[in-house]
Chains A and B, each alone.
Chain A
Amino acid sequence: MSSNPREDSLAEKRWLNALAKGDSSAMNGLYQLYGEKIFRYTYRMLGNRADAEDATAETFLRVLKRANDLRADGAFKTWLFRIARNLCIDKMRQPKLLEISGERSYSGTEERAALRVTVQNALNELPMDYREPLILCDLEDISAKEAADTLGISVPALKSRLYRGRRALREKLGGSMEKLK
């Protein structure tokens, strides 16, 4: 994904049109555009790489299944996140056979990596109503409108959850922020 939303929007339109015409390279184009975003989102929701990879692959497989119905009307990204979200919720409901812990998923200095693990753990302890807006808006930098559409709620409701979530996260982090500053 480029850092230019206009370029991304044009690329999205091009790939969606190509996909509707049966161009099999279009799927890879869309994956290049949104794959990392969806992976990061699903990782934040599920907390491990294997499940995030599964959910990301399944999200794009759903795109293929709906290839003929998709329209380049600006709502594709939100639709994609909504699919990913539903898959994550389904996965979270499944019983875990084996919990793999200690997975190294963050790069950078030890301090930065420790900080990120602390934040991820604190996020995992929050109720979903708070966690999801924080992941979408603060961690993945998605607009309030897109986040609200993804969650199926109004923008004021999204903002209310976001603000409460930030305060709840602050309580969870407690002294960690001071230590890791």
Chain B
Amino acid sequence: MSDLYRKLVDLYAGNELSEELANELVTAAGQDESLATDMATLKQTVDLLRSDEGPEFNESDYLRIIFRMQTAGADISFAEEDRHPGQYHLPM
């Protein structure tokens, strides 16, 4: 595979190619099996990474970290609108 195709596949996998160029690359891949495989597997890798929700961060984690800061001497108080420090607002 040429360096140009390799660079285009990198951009394609990260959704950084314009729609027009992406379509041209898909068309070229129809005639080139190694290019098609490279595109599909690299895109799958990036999609897999981006769909990873990551480790849980729950109320216990939230409070344990605050506790560690307070133990180290940090003065952390809560604003008027957040008077319930135990109530961590999980992202929706």
Residues on A lying within 8 angstroms of B by beta carbon are 1, 3, 24-25, 27-29, 31-32, 35-36, 39-40, 43-44, 49, 52-54, 56-57, 60-61, 64, 105-108, 115-116, 119, 134, 138-141, 162-163, 166-167, 169-170, 173, 177, 181
Contacts and interface: CB of A to CB of B under 8 A. Distances in A.
B3 interface: no
Given A36-B91, A39-B65, A170 B49 contact: no
Contact of A134 (B49, B56, B64): B49
Contact of B65 (A57, A162, A177): A57
Contacts of B72: 57, 61
Interface stretch (B17-25, B27-35, B73-81): B73-81
| A-side interface mostly | helix
Interface string B70-92: 00101111110010010001010
Nearest to A167: B42
Interface string B59-72: 00110111011001
Interface residues of B, number: 35
Given A107-B53, A108-B53, 16 more contacts: A27-B75, A32-B82, A32-B89, A39-B55, A40-B55, A43-B55, A44-B55, A49-B55, A53-B64, A57-B69, A106-B53, A107-B56, A119-B48, A138-B46, A139-B54, A166-B49
A35 B2 CA distance: 44
Contacts of A106: 53-56
A119 B54 CA distance: 10
Contacts of A139: 49-50, 52, 54
Contacts of B65: 31, 35, 39, 53, 56-57, 60
6 contacts: A31-B69, A39-B65, A61-B72, A169-B49, A173-B45, A177-B44
B15 to A, nearest CB: 11
Nearest to B70: A57
A166 B53 contact: no
B38 to A, nearest CB: 9
A61 B54 contact: no
B44 A105 contact: no
B42 A44 contact: no
B87 to A, nearest CB: 11
Given A53-B68, A119-B52, A1 B61 contact: no
B68 A57 contact: yes
B56 A105 contact: yes
Contact of B68 (A54, A107, A134): A54
